[in-house]
Amino acid sequence: MNKGKVFVSRIIFLAVITLVCSFIFMPGINAEEYNSNFDYEIESYHVNIVAHKDNTYNITESIDVYFHEYRHGIYRDIPHLFGEIRIEVSKINTYGEKAKKTWSPSNTNIRLGDADVTIIGDKKYTISYKLDMGKDQGKDIDSIYLDIIGTDWYTNIYSATFNIDVRELGDIPMDIVFHSGDYGDEDTSGGDFIVEDGIIMGRPNYVLGPYQGVTIKADMPEDTFSSAINPLDIIKVLMYSIAGFALICLIYFRSKYGLKEKPIPVVEFYP
């Protein structure tokens, strides 16, 4: 074999080796990155809750998002109604993440992200806030009744976990029911939890799909939330304020331009 053929053979051999090594040592690619039907998915969602004697809760959410497409961020809706109970949301913190908060009668909407910046790949968000549930509505029991993860996420949540610190409530009996799944789903077989040293720890045992969430209800003795007071209902305050303002205006205008008796003209006939 002449030198030219040997040289070409070596070049081909090195090219093949380089190509094989590039496949062997290239970073692994998750198939979901190319096959997902969603703009983003949530790889992990952890909720840490501290319960207080006045039926308020300090909540911190750690959300690990993977963006399949370029996006500016995510939205987080915190409802103001839980059943017939009106909830007060306060002390919202996004830990440096740019956010726009919008209040409505039904929820507080938090837009996380910058309108001038797009994101692809992994992004971690942390949100904390306080919920005031007011006086417990039960007649014979008090309850912790919370949507830990709401059913408003249109995506998959691959790992969902939560902790609820109830040590401030004391060493009291609790009847705990844990639901996960679609809105209104009462199946209790979809998750696991334990109680250890005054902390309830749990997780669903499957991937949460679109519009699926996690709810917990823990029944306790009456007066566990003995120091709870009902939060100010902004809607009722506005209604009463408008009615009061209208009444004041009516009294003012009646006093200033009140209904005065108008003289009745006497018709006289002259011969």
pLDDT in tens, 101-115: 999 988 999 999 999
d(C-alpha 170, C-alpha 77), whole Å? 31
Q: Residue 238: pLDDT above 70? A: no
DSSP-derived 3-state class of residue 91: strand
Q: Which two tokens stand for residue 77?
A: 């809706």
Q: What is the pLDDT of residues 240-251, one digit of tens each?
A: 567 666 667 666
Q: How many helices (H) and strands (E) does the chain have?
A: 3, 15
Q: What is the pLDDT of residues 150-196, one digit of tens each?
A: 999 999 999 999 999 999 999 999 999 989 999 888 878 888 999 99
d(C-alpha 92, C-alpha 149), whole Å? 17
Does the pTM exceed 0.75?
A: no
Q: Which two tokens stand for residue 23?
A: 């496949």
